[in-house]
Amino acid sequence: MPIIQRISAGLCVLTFLLQPTSALGRQWGLPDAGEVSRGAFIRAAVQAFEISTSKKGDALPYSRIPKDLMEFIMAAHERGALDIFGKELLPASPILRGQAVQILVVLSDLMQAGDGKTDFRDIRPGTPLARAVRVAIEQEWIVPLRPSQFGVDRPVTASEAEKMLKKASGRAGQVRKDDSSKDTGVQVIRIKMPKKQGTAVVPKSDILQAVWQLINDEYLYQEKVKADEAAYSAIEGMVQSLDDPYTTFLRPAKAQNFRSQIKGEVTGIGAQVEDKSGVLTIVTPLTGSPAERAGLLPGDEILAADGTSLTGIGFLEAVDRVRGPKGTSVRLRIRRGGSEFDVSVQRDIVTVPEVEVKLMDGVGIVKLMQFGQATDTKLRGEMEKLQEKKPRGIILDLRNNPGGLEHAAGVVVSNFVPKGTVVTMIKSKDRNEEHRTEEDQIIDANIPMVVLVNGGSASASEIVAGALQDLGRATIVGEKTFGKGTVQAVLQFSDLSSLKITIAQWLTPKGRAIDKVGIVPDVTVQYSTERDEQLLKAMELLRR
């Protein structure tokens, strides 16, 4: 069974706003509103996962089970999903958030995916509950109550239950209906492949099979026959024929690198880089990183790694050449100001910062480096602290932010606009959807706001800038953004390879297409290496 994750113009995970339960929720037996009982949740989970049931079966270890729930509870019990209740199921009792995620993780076969680490005060690290919660949050089934508390003992509401079940079972993650990510991040949602009328037959499949059979039967140099290499090369060729730079097949090693970026941890030299006219160029070394310790500077061009030229091999391949295992060294050929020299950098595990919040001259400056899990789960807590300081203005700095999770983009916008506000519209092959903020506004509406962007602002950054511009909530300052307005889904297969495939495009709340167009600032200010003219202009606007 594959796993899906959504990425936006950079890395976007598309999510649904679920209010009262839909027809599907009612079909599963969920109430229209209010709290959900254990029995109702178990029945809905079994149906959502399409688990076969039987009215006949062994006796259950629980007492007082209603007949209409018996087959569903039996199916969940046989899979070990109800062990958390011991011998007293009490099906009429409310299902708690902690219990719900443990049931879903077992039914999803993802219990081993959780590492048991937790910063929540209401969860003990290393426990099955901690592992389940980690999985649920990483896969965006549910959002914690606050940065320090998950809310394990809070009853699950009908809308929460439907959202969790849709995502965990894959109904909110099917390629035609749902999820996404950027060229640097991933969130994983287990899905069932959609059942379609008719099956797309692999073109020339008879010839492909015949060629493969002949290679195995007749080819002289049998030691050169490598089944995995042949299969991966065939898949890569199929995907490359689409001529879409954002639709790619990732072999297991590259897929792992891709997944790690969304968690904010990578192994390498610790520098933000971009492709400038085919040359890998350092935007900035991360603070305390191997790149900074080696003396690398913004604007440095990386021409080669360990003697291998990086020119013309593609951005991702060039980045892979620079990255490597912790403790190893890479010799980089650097061009700086017309001069070239070599520098050796020892690789290490680098934590990529996502959020920096500070107060300068009474103005809150919020810099987002990417839209990953930290932005998704921790930003609102930082914004609550900032609001308590009563800033006279807010500057949201999205410059050189390549994007990330679309859900994180919604979280960012939710800080500044009322709950239920449209953030973006998603236009896919066969449907259109509106995505709205799901959380209450934190920053007072009367606090003026400026958003800084440039050509390195892409994907989820453009979603945020476009939304705040359309809504009249912020003045956009800087340079035109990158212009990546398509949505990708990331499907992870059983061998840990992945397919990142374009499934939709997003539009601003007013219906503006951004792909290959970008967001045009309200106030255009060119960047200067002498001083930050864009930031100074933002401060000037907030003084008025």
Q: Which residues are catalytic?
A: 459, 470, 484
Measured distance CA(190)–CA(47) in Å, rounded: 16
Using alpha carbons only, give the angle 499, 505, 506 rounded to the nearest 5 degrees. Answer: 125
- Taking the alpha carbons of 284, 382, 406, 492 in that order, is the dihedral positive or negative? positive
Per-residue tokens: 212? 């493969």
Three-state DSSP at 299 gives coil
Per-residue tokens: 72? 């569903």
Q: For residue 261, give Cα distances in angstroms to 231, 353, 421.
A: 26, 11, 29
- Taking the alpha carbons of 33, 35, 38, 41 in that order, is the dihedral positive or negative? positive
Q: Which residues pair with 267 in a beta bridge?
A: 349
Q: Which residues pair with 524 in a beta bridge?
A: 478
Measured distance CA(146)–CA(273) in Å, rounded: 33
Measured distance CA(486)–CA(180) in Å, rounded: 10
Per-residue tokens: 54? 């039987």
Residues 6+ apart with CB under 8 A from 428: 176, 177, 487, 503, 504
Whether the CB-CB separation of 181 and 7 falls below 8 Å is answered with yes
Measured distance CA(131)–CA(98) in Å, rounded: 11
Residue with tokens 């916008």: 413
Three-state DSSP at 219 gives coil
Give buried/exposed letters for 520-544 (b at 16+ CB in 10 A, else e): ebeeebebeeeebebbebbbebbee
Q: For residue 172, give Cα distances in angstroms to 17, 24, 177, 434.
A: 11, 12, 7, 14
Residue with tokens 């979603």: 463
Three-state DSSP at 151 gives coil
